[in-house]
Amino acid sequence: MLLTVIRREILGHLLSLRFGLMAVLVLALMAANGFLFAGERSTLAVTQYNENVRQAREEIESLCEQGLNHLAEKGPGELYRRPGTLVFCVSGGDGAMPSRIDATSHSSYGWRSNEFSYSWKMPWNLQYTVDTPLPTNPALPSFAELDWSFAIGVALSLMALLLTYDAISGERRDGTLRLAMANPVPRDLLLLGKYLAALFTVAGPLLLGVVVSLLILLAGGSVDLAGDDWVRLALAVGLSLVYVSVFAGLGLLVSALVRRPTTGLLGLLLLWVLSVELVPGGLGVLGMHLAEPISSVEGARQGRALVDGFIEHAKQALFTRLSPSQAPDDEQVLRDWADALNEFRDGQMELLDRTADRQLQRVSFARTLTRLSPTAVYRYGLEALAGTGFSHYRSFVSQARRYRDQFHAFLQGQDRADPDSPHHYFVREGVSARPVDPRIVPHFADRFPLAEGLRAAVWDIVVLVVLAVLLFLAAYLSFLRCDLAES
Amino acid sequence: MLLTIIRKELALHVLTLRFQLGFLVCVGLIAVVAWIGTVGYEKRAADHRAVVTGLDEKLDELEVFSDLACNTQLYADRRPRPLAVFSQGVEGRLADHFQVAHCLVPGGLEGMRPGDPFTRVFSQYDVVTLLQVILSFLALLFAYDAVSGEREDGTLTLVLSNRGSRAQLLLGKYLGGLLGLAPPLVVSFLVAVLIMESSPLLSLGTDHWLRLAVIFFLSLLYLSLFLVVGLLLSVLTPRSSTSLLWAALVWMVFVVIYPAAVLFAVDQLRPMQPLASVGAAVEELRAQFDREVEDYLSAHGRERAWEGFHGGRSTSSNGTGESVKATPQMDDDGVIKAETLEAMAFARRFYAFQEPLRAEYADRRAHLLQAYLEDNVLAQERLAWRLLRLSPAGMLAETASAAADTDLDSYLRFVAQAARYRGDLIEHLEEENAFGSDRWFYSPGGPVEAHSLPRFGERLETPAGLLGRLAPTIALLAVLNGLAFVGAVVLFGRQPVT
């Protein structure tokens, strides 16, 4: 019986104008997605990343030859974020997120007087840059990217609404609802049939669009998908179906509640505009505004104050005595230097990390506000699954921090292994000068594994699933209570 | 008759839930956006004021003219535009402060640093964008069932049995819709202006009111177009639910999808090239400059410019400018030694050669960067706007930002004025013979006379110029309005009533 209902409904949908129009639109968007993401820009980002990583490795290797102390002083170099492979699925501003964290010591300082001369490098720390992977045009307004999440989030959700808005109210108006109920089919089956039929109908253009987009992308040769990526894409399609079913449930609910189908559609359209456009945009702007970060000027000022304070301290407390290069055997001099450098490094690290955290919290706050819109929830969930955009950047930051600790541990371990070293970590003269085997140096490789993505996405997925189920239940309840006849 | 129709339509619209909801959403969001925009303006205005007042103090302490190259640079500061609250354009996205010196050409890539990457992830809203999104939707909802709905309900025959013609009916419905749209539009403008005026830092002059009127008129033309398109759809389709479907589709394609698709496609198909190639050429220029200076020195049998006196020097961050301050060697009586005097005479000739050369090289460097900008940033931007013009939403965005004086053209005019200002500065320095005098690098005590230096003052576009620039788009919008309306009337006239 259920099958009969579904078959009848699907046939009705497939022959309708709204289905035809929306299907054409969705397929056109997905095809455009394929062509655009197969373009030059995506390949450029990957090439650039590989080149950057290669250079960073060479840098480390040359430092290894110079000795452990040089490596300790200069730091592990630039840490690069891998550009997302699945940006065509959901970009989440992947191209606008910072592409690197700088873990190099850049500035050297020196002091010279008649009896004293010494130069040293400021300790390296994680400097969170704002460089994008590729140059971006600041004059262009920021815009939605034409990824799957756009086609599905905007067009396919409307399609789900259009297929369900008159499911009950329309039949009631035409008088066919009583006819349908005269058959031996319970109300819940009829409603379930309509729901599933709408979902199957929407799934058609969705799957077809996904296939079209993937075919174009793979034929273009600019996208290389690994086994992991296919799992991610499958999950993304699954989440898209859940998202679409939220709107199908909403459409059914409204169609059971209102008398005139057009009234229902008007209300639904308003909700739809709020969800796809106004809430993500408006509340996002508001959230970013309410949570002001430390301004870059203020951050830079605090950073400079820290450096100036340290140099002053170095002049006052350390340079009045001997320099480490003149008295490499003087334990006390080395220890004081090491203490001073480490203390400065910790202070700077705290400041830099705090500023970066504030920035991340600010974006998270704005995103939390926008989660009022199912479309935003869907995009964020998809983003975490696909490993792109802000979710990836946040993971990149914590990976870089873990790597920092790992690198310090490595340096200190190597230093301890050298009996000739004075073991005063961070002072050039206090650390082993032996060359290091580049093969044992830990290298940074940005990875955002699927498990981590799933963990990050889990709440968004749960919210969408719960919303979909609740809306269907609400539709069911109101359908049970509604009048069959047109009043 | 016409009046009756208008009155009826207006009452019908205003009493509907869609109107009330749309009104509330629109005004509420606009209040939020106007407040955020005003706070942003206040920040920029405070920065601008700090820069303007800070310079005088610094000039009081100008010890040598070469300080102008690096330590105390003059500037060109773009006045913040209050109407950015209405249409943001490129305001706040591109640098509005340039250092200006003979060795530093304002503009170029200095202005092109992307801002906070994280704000770019959220779409940027200003008042006009919100009107463009919400009220166009409302306009379509007003008009979509004008004919199809009445035909469905059977009231169309009734209405047409009155004295009014079909064209009159459509006109009445159109004007009624327009009047229905007026309250949200007017209240939105009022709310935004009130919020702006409540800020102590922001005051609107006559020029601004004029520009606001232009923006209002443009928004009205834009909304009227959606209204007419809604009427056309209602004539074309037999059932009101079908017209609503078409209306939703038209709105989604023209307001949401097409603008996003254009911007994205432009960025993807015509991506900005990495700066590396330009960087190498700039580096090469710098080396060439150093060689010319070395050649000059060796031709005069010297190794360094300074032989015979000491001093300090500082180089500007991009290495193109240099401030120098010499400390001559005195004998015991406090008189400058003879060999130092001779060295200073050489230094005068040297700087009279080097600094104009620096200015020339700065020009050449700026040309390189300008070419990069033209081929990448500006070409991309222009292509995007040309394509956006195919959608009414793009037309409104473009003209509104021009009217708010925040569009790219306005910004480029500012950059051009800044470049002319640098020309004036160089001319002034040459007239004063600053490059070839002791005062370039030597301060016998007391500051140099710096207050006669030319200052930057931005000249704004006149309203007449603005209207000339906007005329084609306004005409196009009006023609589209007219065509769609005439189309609706003609089609309606041919249709059977039932």
Phi, psi of A252 (to 5 degrees): -60, -45
pLDDT at B117 over 60: yes
Query: In sequence order, which residues have a C-beta less than 8 Å from that of residue B56 and are 6 or more positions away?
Result: none
B21 and A CB contact within 8 Å: yes
State residue B296's pLDDT score.
92
Report the percent of chain A where pLDDT is more than 90. Answer: 47
Mutation site for B-interface testing, chosen from A35, A97, A140 by largest number of B Cβ within 10 Å = A140
Phi, psi of B312 (to 5 degrees): -115, 155
Long-range contacts of A12-19 (CB under 8 A, 24+ apart): A13/A163, A13/A197, A13/A198, A13/A201, A14/A201, A16/A163, A17/B242, A17/B245, A18/A159, A18/A162, A18/A163, A18/B245, A19/A159, A19/A162, A19/A163, A19/A201
Q: How far apart are CA B488 and CA A453, in angstroms?
A: 53
- B375–chain A nearest CA distance, Å: 12
Mutation site for A-interface testing, chosen from B18, B51, B118, B408 by largest number of A Cβ within 10 Å = B118
pLDDT at B204 over 80: yes
- Pairwise CB contact (< 8 Å): B36 & A274: no
Mean per-residue pLDDT, B160-170: 80
User: What digits encode the pLDDT tens for the residues A273-304?
Assistant: 999 988 988 898 889 888 876 666 777 788 88
* pLDDT-based confidence at residue A327 (cuts at 50, 70, 90): low
Which H or E element spans position B322?
Answer: strand B322-328
- Pairwise CB contact (< 8 Å): A135 & B116: no
**On the CB side of B288, how many CA atoms lie within 13 Å of its CA?**
13
pLDDT at A375 over 90: yes
Mean per-residue pLDDT, A3-28: 91
- B120–chain A nearest CA distance, Å: 6
pLDDT at B445 over 80: no
State residue A324's pLDDT score.
66
Query: Token pair 């500023």 is at which residue?
Result: A355
SS3 A127: strand
- Pairwise CB contact (< 8 Å): B268 & A39: yes
Range of lowest pLDDT (A96-105, A107-116, B228-237):
A107-116
Number of residues that make up chain A: 487
pLDDT at B346 over 90: no
Range of lowest pLDDT (A135-139, B31-35, B128-132):
A135-139
Q: How far apart are CA B217 and CA A144, in angstroms?
A: 28
Q: How many CB atoms lie within 10 A of CB B205?
A: 9
Report the percent of chain A where pLDDT is more than 70. Answer: 94
Which H or E element spans position A156?
Answer: none
pLDDT at A487 over 60: no
DSSP B120: G
- Kind of pairing between the strands at B74-77 and B309-315: unpaired
User: What digits encode the pLDDT tens for the residues B359-383?
Assistant: 999 999 889 888 888 888 888 888 9
pLDDT at B279 over 90: no
Find the CB nearest B121 among A22, A96, A296.
Answer: A96
State residue A34's pLDDT score.
92
Mean per-residue pLDDT, A435-464: 92
The interface predicted TM-score (ipTM) is 0.86
Cα dihedral sign for A228, A230, A233, A239? negative
Query: Among residues 23-42 of chain B, which lie with CB inside 8 Å of chain A?
Result: 25, 29, 32-33, 36, 39
- Mean pLDDT score of chain A: 87
Residues from chain B contacting residue A269 (CB–CB below 8 Å): 137, 141, 244, 248
A135 and B CB contact within 8 Å: yes
Mean per-residue pLDDT, B333-361: 85
User: What digits encode the pLDDT tens for the residues A376-420?
Assistant: 999 999 999 999 989 999 999 999 999 999 999 999 898 888 888
DSSP B442: B
Range of lowest pLDDT (A47-61, A137-151, B344-358, B415-429):
A137-151
Find the CB nearest A135 among B118, B266, B272.
Answer: B272
* Among chain B residues, CA nearest to A358: B118
Mean per-residue pLDDT, B386-394: 91
Q: Does A90 or B464 have the greater pLDDT score?
A: A90
- Kind of pairing between the strands at B309-315 and A127-128: unpaired
Query: Token pair 């009414």 is at which residue?
Result: B392
Query: In sequence order, which residues have a C-beta less than 8 Å from that of residue B437 and are 6 or more positions away?
Result: B65, B348
